[in-house]
Chains A and B, each alone.
Chain A
Amino acid sequence: MGPFPLFGRLVAASVRGQARYPMSTLMLTLGQFLATGIEMVTIWALFDRFGEVRGWRLGDVALFYGLVNVMFAMADALGRGFDVLGTEFLRTGAFDRLLLRPRTLALQLMAHDVRLSRLGRLLQGLLVIAFATSHSGIAWTPATVALGLFAVAGGVALFLGILVLQGTLSFWTVESLEIANVFTYGGVEAGQYPLAIYERWFRSILTFAVPLAAVAYYPALAVLGKADPLGAPAWVGWVSPAAGFVFLGLSLIAWRAGVRHYTSTGS
C-alpha cells in the first residue's frame, strides 16, 4: 500500500475510534469551538471601546484571526503524534514499534490520533473569516482565494514544523515539553493581530525565526489590498507563504537527526 492510501486508512481508523464516543466527541468539539472562539470576544470588546488599533479595523483583525486559527486547527489535528511523542511513545517504548514498520515515521505519527474536536477551532476560524469578509468588504477573486489557500497550506506546514521540532526535542528530554506552546498557542495568540502593532524585536522573531508573518500577515495584507505600514513591497505576500514549507523541511531534517540519536527506553 502506498503512503497516501495508508495514511488515509490510519486517519479513518482514528476517526472511527472517536465516533464510538459520540457525546464525548461532540462536547469536546463544542468546547474547542467556545474556548477558541472566546478570544474573539476580547477583540470585539477592545474595538468597541477603542474604535481601531493603529489604523486597523475590526474586520481586518478578524481576517488575521480567522486565518491563523484555521491553520493551527489543521496542524494541531495532524501534529498530535509529535506533540505527545515524549509521553506516549518514547517513555513507554512504543516508538520501537513504529520503527519496526517499513513505513515513513512522520507519516505514522501524523496519522496518530487525528482528533475530530479540532473541527471546533476550524469551524470557528472559518466563521470569523466569513465575518471579516462581510465587515471589511473583502471581494474574493480567484487570485485571492488561491493566495488564501496557499497561505493556509504554508501556515499548516509552519505549525506542523513547530510540532515536529517539539517532538524532536523530546528525543533528548524524554518528556513532552510544554515550552513549545510558546510558539504554537503563543503563535496563534500573536498572529491574531497584524504584526505591525508589535515591537520591533518581537516582529523580528515572528518574521525570521518562526515565519508566522510570512504565512499570515503578508498574504492577508495582499487579500485586504492594504499597503504594509512597515514598507514591504506588495508582491511579498504572494510568495512569502513558501517560507512555511521551508520551515517544515528544516524541521524534518532536525527530526532525522533526532531519530538517529534515539535509544530505546523499553526493555
Chain B
Amino acid sequence: MSALRPCTAAFVSRFLQMLQYRTAALAGFATQCWWGGIKVMVLAAFYGTGAAGGTAMPLTHAVTYTWIAQGLLALLPWAGDPEVAQAVRTGAVAYDRVRPVDAYALWFARTAGWIAARVLPRLALMVMFAALVLPLAGLGSWAWQPPADAVAGLAALLSCALALLLSASLVMGLNIATAALLNERGINALAVPVVVVLSGNLLPLALMPEAWQTALLLQPLAGLLDIPVRLYLGHLQGNAAWGALALQCGWIVVLTCLGRMAMGRAMQRLDVQGG
C-alpha cells in the first residue's frame, strides 16, 4: 500500500493540474466537432454510393465510431509527456532518480493522470454534442448512438480504462525514447502517423481491406480505440469480448515490461543536463 501512495498522489496532482486548461479544452473541442462533421459527411457519401461496401459495418455504426474517436482523441499516445521532456532537458530528471520510489511507476502514474485529465472533459462535451445536441437539431442520422446493450456498454467502459493504461504504457515508451535521445520533436512527429492509422482513429479498422483484418485486430494499438468501440457497438460478444479484453491486458503487460527494461538502460546511460 505504501508503495502505491506516491503514485496515486502523482496521478491525482497531474490530473488536477491539467484540468485547469479549460480554454484549450474548449478550442480543441470545437475543432473536433467540425472534424467529426466532415468525416461523417464523407462516410455518408461513400455509403450512399455502393451498398456492397457497407457490409462490414452499417453507416450508423461508422458514424458512432467517428464520434467516439473524436471524443477519445486525447486518449491516444500522440506524444511524450511534455513535463518529462522538459525534465530531461533541464536536468530536473535527476530529482526523479534520487526519489525512493520506482521511477517507472511514478512517471507512469503521472502520465496516466495527464492523459485522463485531457480526455475526460472532452469526452463529456463530445457526448453532449453528438448524442444530445445533434438529435435535437434534427440530425438524428448523424448522431452518436447508444451502446448495443447494457453489457456492451459496461464492457466498453472497462475496455476504455484498459485503453488508458495501454496508452500510458505507450507514452512511457515515447518518454523513454525522449530521455535517451534528448529530443522529443522528431520522435513525436514519427509517432503520429502510426498511431492514427493503427488505432482506428483515421478510419474504423473494420473498413480497412479485408486481408489485413486479423493483423489489424491483434496489433497493440487496436486496444486504444478500435477494441473499446467494437465492444460498444456489440461487434464482439461473449468469448470474443473476453478475448479482446485479455488481448488489451496482454499488451499492457508486454509494453510495461519492455518499457521498464528500456528505462533501466536509458537511465544508466543518461547524462544529466544543467548545472
Contact = CB atoms under 8 A, between A and B. Distances in A.
Interface in B39-58: 41-42, 45-50, 52-54, 56
A24 B185 contact: yes
A45 B196 CA distance: 14
B26 to A, nearest CB: 9
Contact of B46 (A30, A46, A177, A181): A46
A143 interface: no
A182 B34 contact: yes
Contacts of B47: 50
Give the dominant DSSP class at A's interface.
helix
Given A27-B189, A27-B190, A28-B189, A193 B30 contact: no
Interface in A121-154: none
A38 B193 contact: yes
Interface stretch (B154-162, B202-210, B253-261): B202-210
A38 B45 contact: no
A39 B34 CA distance: 17
A179 B41 contact: no
Interface residues of A, number: 39
B205 to A, nearest CB: 10
A178 B31 contact: yes
A42 interface: yes
A197 B45 contact: yes
A71 B139 CA distance: 33
Q: Tell me the interface secondary structure of chain B in the complex.
A: helix
B185 A28 contact: yes
A50 B202 CA distance: 17
Contacts of A190: 38
Contact of B190 (A30, A51, A178): A30
A42 B189 CA distance: 19
Contact of A179 (B30, B37, B183, B209): B30
Interface string A195-213: 0011100100000000000
Interface in A159-202: 175, 177-179, 181-182, 185-186, 189-190, 193, 197-199, 202
A32 interface: yes
Given A49-B53, A198-B41, A38 B202 contact: yes
Interface of A: 23-24, 27-28, 30-32, 34-35, 37-39, 41-42, 45-46, 48-55, 175, 177-179, 181-182, 185-186, 189-190, 193, 197-199, 202
Given A45-B208, A186-B34, 15 more contacts: A24-B185, A30-B190, A38-B197, A39-B202, A42-B202, A45-B207, A45-B209, A49-B53, A50-B47, A52-B50, A53-B45, A175-B23, A179-B27, A198-B41, A202-B41
